[in-house]
C-alpha cells in the first residue's frame, strides 16, 4: 500500500512540475503547441523530465518504499563491517562513500540508487545479512558500488528519457494521423477530440511496452559489467559464490529502479527481464582470465 501511495504521489508531482515547465517553454519560445515542433518539445520535456525527476527522487523513494534505515552511527559489529566495507570499496573505485542502509526483507538482495555517483545510496536486505557469508555479502556490496562508480543510474535515466521522448512523440503524430483519417473530410474541428486522446493512450501503451525491451536490454548488459567490476574489487570467486548463493534463495521482490540496480531480479520475463539469468552471469565471470 505504501509503494502504491508513493507511486501515485510521485507521478502527480512529476506531472505538475513538468506541466508548469512546458507552459513556460511555450510562453517564452512562442512555439505553437499543436505544431510538430510543439509536439517535439512536449515529448522532450515529459520524456527526459519525468526520467530525471524520478532519478532525483530515487533515494527518497527508495528509503520510504523499502523502509531502509541509513546507518548514521554504527550500533553493532555488523553495521561497522557494512560501513567500513563500502567505504573501502568506494575508495578503491574512486568515488565518495555512499550512504549505507539496511532494510527489512526476507529475500537476499541489495540495491544502489541516487542521481550522483558521489551522493549515492547502497542498501542491503536483512535477509542477505542473515543468509550470506561475509565474503558473499562483500561481493554483493562490490557489485552495487560498481553500479555507482560506473554512473549506471544516470545512464539508464538518459536511455529511458530518449525512449520516452520517442514514444510520446510518435504516439501523438500517429494519433493525429489516425484521428484525422477517422474523421469525415468535410468536418471542421478546432482541436483534437476525445478519440484522439484514446488513440494516443493506446499507442503509448503499445510503444511503451516495445520500448521497454530496449531499456531492459541495457539493464542486463550493465549487470554483467557490475559483476565484472565487483570481481576487480574483491575477486571473481567471491562474486561467483554470491551468485550461487542467490540461486538457492527466493525470487526478490524489489520493484522499479531499485530492481534494475539490485543484485538480483525477476527470474522470468524474457526480453522484459532486468537481469540476465544467474547461470549466464556465473559463466561470464568464469570466462574472465
Helices (H) and strands (E) in the chain, counts: 11, 4
How much is the pLDDT for 114?
92
Q: Which of 11-15, 25-29, 60-64, 122-126 has the highest mean pLDDT?
A: 122-126
- pLDDT confidence bin for 277, thresholds 50/70/90: very high
Query: What is the DSSP track for 165-220?
Result: HHHHHHHHHHHHHHHHHHS-TT---SS--HHHHHHHHHHHHHHHHHHHHHHHHHHH
Longest dimension (CA), the chain: 78
What is the percent of the chain where pLDDT is above 70?
88
- For 97-115, how does the pLDDT look when each residue is reduced to its tens digit (9 = 90+)? 999 999 999 989 999 999 9
Residue 15 pLDDT greater than 80, yes or no? no
Counting every residue written for the chain, the total comes to 289
* pLDDT reported for residue 256: 60
Q: What is residue 252's predicted lDDT score, i.e. its pLDDT?
A: 66
Q: Taking 80 as the threshold, does the pLDDT of residue 119 lie above it?
A: yes
Catalytic residue among 144, 204, 223, 251: 144
User: pLDDT confidence of 2, banded at 50, 70, 90?
Assistant: low
Angle separating helix axes 134-149 and 152-182, nearest 10 degrees: 60
Mean pLDDT, rounded, of the chain = 87
Residue 188 vs residue 117, higher pLDDT: 117
- Confidence grade of residue 203 (pLDDT, cut at 50, 70, 90): very high
CA dihedral of residues 281, 284, 286, 289 (deg, nearest 10): -150
> Greater confidence, 280 or 11?
280
The set of residues, in sequence order, having a beta carbon less than 8 Å from that of 202 and lying 6+ positions away, is: none
Which helix (H) or strand (E) segment holds residue 102: the answer is: strand 99-103
| pLDDT (0 to 100) of residue 3 | 58
Question: Can you give the pLDDT at residue 5?
Answer: 67
* DSSP H/E element including 270: none
Band of pLDDT at residue 260, cut at 50, 70 and 90: low
d(CA 132, CA 135): 8
pLDDT tens for each residue of 30-70:
777 778 888 899 999 999 998 898 899 889 989 988 899 99
The predicted-structure confidence for 143-198, as pLDDT tens digits, reads as follows 999 999 999 999 999 999 999 999 999 999 999 889 888 875 444 454 567 788 89
pLDDT at 187: 47
Q: Verify whether residue 144 is a known catalytic residue.
A: yes
Mean pLDDT value of segment 239-259: 78
Amino acid at each position: 500500500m505504501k509503494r502504491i501511495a508513493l507511486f501515485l504521489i510521485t507521478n502527480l508531482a512529476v506531472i505538475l512540475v513538468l506541466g508548469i515547465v512546458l507552459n513556460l517553454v511555450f510562453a517564452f519560445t512562442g512555439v505553437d503547441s499543436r505544431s510538430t515542433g510543439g509536439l517535439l518539445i512536449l515529448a522532450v520535456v515529459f520524456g527526459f523530465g519525468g526520467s530525471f525527476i524520478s532519478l532525483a527522487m530515487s533515494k527518497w523513494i527508495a528509503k520510504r518504499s523499502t523502509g531502509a534505515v541509513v546507518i548514521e552511527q554504527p550500533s553493532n559489529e555488523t553495521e561497522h563491517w557494512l560501513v567500513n566495507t563500502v567505504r573501502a570499496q568506494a575508495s578503491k573505485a574512486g568515488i565518495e562513500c555512499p550512504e549505507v542502509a539496511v532494510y527489512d526483507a526476507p529475500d537476499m538482495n541489495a540495491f544502489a540508487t541516487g542521481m550522483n555517483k558521489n551522493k549515492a545510496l547502497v542498501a542491503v536486505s536483512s535477509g542477505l545479512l542473515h543468509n550470506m557469508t561475509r565474503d558473499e555479502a562483500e561481493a554483493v556490496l562490490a557489485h552495487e558500488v560498481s553500479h555507482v562508480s560506473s554512473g549506471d543510474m544516470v545512464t539508464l535515466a538518459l536511455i529511458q528519457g530518449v525512449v520516452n521522448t520517442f514514444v510520446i512523440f510518435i504516439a501523438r503524430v500517429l494519433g493525429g494521423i489516425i484521428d484525422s483519417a477517422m474523421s469525415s473530410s468535410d468536418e471542421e474541428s478546432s482541436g483534437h477530440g476525445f478519440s484522439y486522446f484514446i488513440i494516443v493512450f493506446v499507442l503509448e501503451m503499445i510503444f511503451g511496452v516495445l520500448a521497454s525491451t530496449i531499456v531492459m536490454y541495457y539493464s542486463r548488459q550493465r549487470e554483467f559489467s557490475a559483476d565484472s567490476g565487483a570481481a576487480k574489487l574483491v575477486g571473481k570467486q567471491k562474486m561467483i559464490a554470491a551468485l550461487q548463493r542467490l540461486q538457492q534463495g527466493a525470487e526478490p521482490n524489489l520493484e522499479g529502479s531499485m530492481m534494475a540496480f539490485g543484485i538480483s531480479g525477476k527470474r522470468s520475463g524474457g526480453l522484459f527481464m532486468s537481469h540476465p539469468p544467474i547461470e549466464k552471469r556465473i559463466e561470464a565471470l568464469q570466462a574472465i582470465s
